[in-house]
Structure 1
Amino acid sequence: MDERAHTLLKTLVERYIADGQPVGSRTLSRASGLELSPATIRNVMADLEELGLIASPHTSAGRIPTARGYRVFVDTMLTARPVNLDTMPADVASVRDQLQPDQPQRVIAQAAQMLSSLSHFVGVVTAPKRAGVFRHIEFLRLGDKRVLVILVTPEGDVQNRVIFTARDYPESELVEATNFLNTHYAGLAVDEMRLRLRSEVDALRADIATLMQAAVQAGSDAMADGADQVVISGERNLLGVQDFGQDMGSLRKMFDLFEQKTELLRLLENSSRAEGVQIYIGGESGVVPYEQLSVVSAPYEVDGRIVGTLGVVGPTRMAYERMVQIVDITARLVGNALSQR
């Protein structure tokens, strides 16, 4: 594209995002600031349409951007600037105090609500990936050959698992096993515990070895239960989006996407391997195959390590510059909140 076509495409995308109406040549002439005749603008529009960057709805003489047009706009025309946490927009600052670092799971739920509230679309956040390391393990007797295993992670998450034993264990033996585990195995990953247990089991008393094996299995189960958890907030916001309101088929597909979560998790997992904010427009991600949807996502870090991903899911007609700022700020706020633990 030459500079003239570049300017007209940028103007058209911005006007359509703002108004939601097909943009005609007269509007483009006024909004672009270019001294061009209506005939010249129509010729440029025809060229842009031939390139697949804009399209003409049947009911209007105006044009709207295609997914490809949005991609060109995002890649070459977007001017989103990093936002300092100390000078963030007032609406973001007003809700940042929601992220209280008392419990990681609460932070994740609050972050999803915050993304939804600020974007007016759907907020999605994956829970922090657990490293499978335990700071503390404890056994409590429940009676009837049942023992409660309490697992505490370095982040302060607590997992409880009830195990069934071949015999009743008195409290003294459970205390002994607890002390032994925390002295020799605390801070190890579950897989490391399993490997060490295989090599040391012959040297351990049979009752302690049995409890340790049960503890390792309980730890593996706890990690499996917490894997790939995603929190979604604001799905109903899409009901009010002009682009979807009359298309019940698209709405059903989108709500299936949020209910099943598998495709979203794959997309967010891909995003966690990239740096900074990522923008997926229409079906180009190959994971969320809906031309009407865009996803703006970013990984978040705890103590310098990427542990999860968050983002906004909404229509392709979204204010991308603002969404980038919302996602970027929220990712940093979540990382800060979880790092305070």
Structure 2
Amino acid sequence: MTTGTLASLNERSRDIFKHIVDSYLATGEPVGSRHLSRLLPRALSPASIRSVMQDLEQLGLVYAPHTSAGRLPTQTGLRFFVDAMLQVGDVGDEERRRIETEVRAASESRSFEDALGEASSLLSGLTRGAGVVVTSKDNDRIKHIEFLRLDAERALTILVGEDGNVENRVIATSPGLPASALVEAGNYLNARIRGRTLAEARTEIETERRAAETELDSITERLVDSGLASWARLQGGSRQLIVRGQANLLEDLTAIEDLERIRLLFADLETKTDVIELLHRAESGEGVRIFIGSENKLFSLSGSSMIAAPFRDSTHRIIGVLGIIGPTRLNYARVVPMVDFTARVVSRVVGGG
């Protein structure tokens, strides 16, 4: 199953899939075609709904837990729902005041560790999940990275750590960045990133880019000085090499080799620039991480999910993670903003804000 296959779902299929997930999150029970026909805003027969459900099952988004016609979302289906269809709510004013007041009070009257414990307890009570806090988070070493387009201005970054953990971050992408650039960036990084942190990979690629720019300047300077080419400055500040005297080039094998090297360097620099920007966004990206079922090795057998967010010190360095562990049918729309807000409060307390 590919992202393109998921994106090709028509509106009717998405509506039916969303109702299956919503019903599962609310009740934990499979939902059948007859029940769905009463819930859907459009008039569809149970037979039509069953046909769509079979298509969703073939895509790996839903499954039948037993011989009945009811369906439940698979782990893949939940991941697709969370990444592409979840409409996140907001934290109520009363809950915001309670979290802010009690976390700050614990920090001021006791200690930072007590503030973390208070934040964990509050999240547990408000979400009916198990609160978890991990501090002194090291910068994880990456085994694999992938970028998947969500829409024109957002992409999902999937980070697989050497310890087997999977982390997902939604990042903003530059307007007009083609989907092919995301694929190329992932391929480029996976040939280099294994065993490195995001920061280490970005530093290494920036060094390679500077070396390529130096080589490009050297080669083009030689061609321009020889009168075979000139630089033109285009709109936006970028430069283009204009080749002159093509007949003379045919007699100068070195010049032909230089032009081919320049072409390769331009392509290489374009790739490196895209990769560095994506790495920077993934490295500094804010937001909540959602781990569903076996995506995290801790939950591969228990079928639990975790919603977690980093908190930072006054220098914006990640120093810990807090979150909630619960069943895969957590109320994601409610828990995600609550975890995010609590992490921001803890960051402000740490930073003295």
**What's the TM-score, normalizing by structure 1?**
0.54
Q: Residue 141 of structure 1 aligns with which residue?
A: none
What RMSD, in angstroms, separates the aligned Cα atoms of the two structures? 2.8
Q: Residue 93 of structure 1 aligns with which residue?
A: 97
Q: State the shift of 1:340 in Å.
A: 2.5
Q: Residue 192 of structure 2 aligns with which residue?
A: none
**Deviation per residue, 1:155-207 (Å, 9 max, x gap):** xxxxxxxxxxxxxxxxxxxxxxxxxxxxxxxxxxxxxxxxxxxxxxxxxxxxx
**C-alpha spacing 1:338/1:89, structure 2 compared with 1 (3 Å):** same
Q: Residue 58 of structure 2 aligns with which residue?
A: 50
Q: State the shift of 1:327 in Å.
A: 0.7
Q: Does 1:67 align with 2:64?
A: no
Q: Which amino acid aligns with 1:121?
A: G
Contact 1:125 1:309 in 2 (8 A): yes
Q: Which amino acid aligns with 2:341?
A: I
Q: Residue 321 of structure 1 aligns with which residue?
A: 333
Q: State the shift of 1:315 in Å.
A: 0.8
Q: Does 1:285 align with 2:296?
A: yes
**SS at 1:290's partner residue?**
coil
Q: Provide the C-alpha distance between the structure 1 equivalents of 2:66 and 2:318, rounded to a whole number of angstroms.
A: 46
Contact 1:67 1:291 in 2 (8 A): no
Contact 1:105 1:127 in 2 (8 A): no
Which residue of the other structure, out of 24, 31, 38, is the alignment partner of 1:30? 38
Q: Which amino acid aligns with 1:118?
A: L
Q: State the shift of 1:288 in Å.
A: 3.6
Q: Residue 106 of structure 1 aligns with which residue?
A: 114
Q: Provide the C-alpha distance between the structure 1 equivalents of 2:166 and 2:114, rounded to a whole number of angstroms.
A: 20
Q: Residue 311 of structure 2 aligns with which residue?
A: 300
Q: Provide the C-alpha distance between the structure 2 equivalents of 1:123 and 1:322, rounded to a whole number of angstroms.
A: 15
**C-alpha spacing 1:14/1:129, structure 2 compared with 1 (3 Å):** closer
Q: Does 1:19 align with 2:27?
A: yes
Q: State the shift of 1:43 in Å.
A: 0.5
Task: Give % identity.
Answer: 41
Q: Which amino acid aligns with 1:65?
A: P
The list of structure 1 runs, each at least 4 consecutive aligned residues, that deviate by more than 4 angstroms after superposition, is 265-274
Contact 2:164 2:296 in 1 (8 A): no
Gaps of 5+ in 2: 1-8, 139-160, 170-281
**For residues 1-341 of structure 1, what are the structure 2 equivalents within 5 Å?**
1-58=9-66, 60-80=68-88, 88-99=92-103, 100=105, 101-102=107-108, 103-128=111-136, 267=165, 275-286=286-297, 288-290=299-301, 292-303=303-314, 304-340=316-352
Q: Provide the C-alpha distance between the structure 1 equivalents of 2:166 and 2:77, rounded to a whole number of angstroms.
A: 24
Contact 2:99 2:119 in 1 (8 A): no
Q: State the shift of 1:267 in Å.
A: 5.0
Contact 2:18 2:81 in 1 (8 A): yes
**Deviation per residue, 1:192-227 (Å, 9 max, x gap):** xxxxxxxxxxxxxxxxxxxxxxxxxxxxxxxxxxxx
**Deviation per residue, 1:25-55 (Å, 9 max, x gap):** 1221222212111110010011111211111
Q: State the shift of 1:111 in Å.
A: 1.1
Q: Provide the C-alpha distance between the structure 2 equivalents of 1:27 and 1:121, rounded to a whole number of angstroms.
A: 29
The answer to which of 94-103 and 114-123 deviates more is 94-103
Q: State the shift of 1:307 in Å.
A: 1.3
Q: Provide the C-alpha distance between the structure 2 equivalents of 1:106 and 1:268, rounded to a whole number of angstroms.
A: 29
Q: Provide the C-alpha distance between the structure 2 equivalents of 1:291 and 1:126, rounded to a whole number of angstroms.
A: 20
**C-alpha spacing 1:129/1:318, structure 2 compared with 1 (3 Å):** closer
Contact 2:120 2:131 in 1 (8 A): yes
Q: Provide the C-alpha distance between the structure 2 equivalents of 1:75 and 1:269, rounded to a whole number of angstroms.
A: 12
**What's the TM-score, normalizing by structure 2?**
0.52
Contact 2:290 2:305 in 1 (8 A): yes
**C-alpha spacing 1:281/1:269, structure 2 compared with 1 (3 Å):** closer
The answer to which of 90-99 and 275-284 deviates more is 90-99
**C-alpha spacing 1:54/1:270, structure 2 compared with 1 (3 Å):** closer
Q: Which amino acid aligns with 2:34?
A: R
